[in-house]
Amino acid sequence: MELTDADLIARVLVDDDQHAFGELVRRHQSSVRGLLRQLTRTDLELADDLGQETFLRAYKNIRSFRGEAKFSTWLYRIAYNCFRENARRRKELVGVDEERLQAEVDPQTVDPGLRHDLMHALSLLPLPERTAVLLCCQNGLSHDEAARVLDIPLGTVKTNVLRGREKLKRTLAAWGPN
């Protein structure tokens, strides 16, 4: 039987079980790295560095995880804070790496043209809207959960999701019919 996140967290807390923490990393690395790749506008190297920093912070502060939210939501919050601190340090974010983005395309799941358009359109959104759309529309967080991750009012999240969606639709429509 597969252990739940809560079981693994308990093992880390009680026995400092690093194998259990490794399993948590394996389970959540894809969604955390995916979020960071979009936030950093597909700078894979920076996103993975921030991903590692996210999990290291999670390990060091796992005692502060009270289980009120899902573990993934807690990780997103740490990831977003890592990204914000890094962005503040760097002052400006890097641009979209088109070649790397193209290499990431999995043609079996989504029409490559649409995928490229979508991701490109997403990367063009302003950061607050992009983050809200990523968390709520792509990662399936509720508005309330996203508000906790981003540490902003619920109304602001709703507005950002709405605006982000509208802009995405407008951009995709302007680029041609799907």
Residues making contact with another protein (CB under 8 A): 16, 18, 21-22, 25-26, 29-31, 33-34, 37, 48, 51-52, 55-56, 59-60, 104-106, 109-110, 114-115, 118-119, 122, 133, 137-140, 165, 168-169
Min dist. Cβ of residue 82 to another protein (A) = 13
- DSSP assignment, residue 60? H
Min dist. Cβ of residue 168 to another protein (A) = 6
Please identify, using beta-carbon distances, which residue of 93 and 105 lies nearer to another protein.
105
Please identify, using beta-carbon distances, which residue of 74 and 92 lies nearer to another protein.
74
Q: Looking at this protein, which amino acid is placed at residue 151?
A: D
- DSSP assignment, residue 136? I
Min dist. Cβ of residue 64 to another protein (A) = 16
CA distance linking residue 166 with residue 178, whole number of Å: 16
Please identify, using beta-carbon distances, which residue of 81 and 92 lies nearer to another protein.
81
Please identify, using beta-carbon distances, which residue of 94 and 162 lies nearer to another protein.
162
CA distance linking residue 52 with residue 46, whole number of Å: 10
Pick from 86, 105, 24: which is nearest to 59 by CA? 24
Q: Looking at this protein, which amino acid is placed at residue 25?
A: V
Min dist. Cβ of residue 125 to another protein (A) = 12
Min dist. Cβ of residue 35 to another protein (A) = 9
CA distance linking residue 22 with residue 151, whole number of Å: 28
Pick from 50, 1, 5: which is nearest to 27 by CA? 5
Please identify, using beta-carbon distances, which residue of 92 and 175 lies nearer to another protein.
175
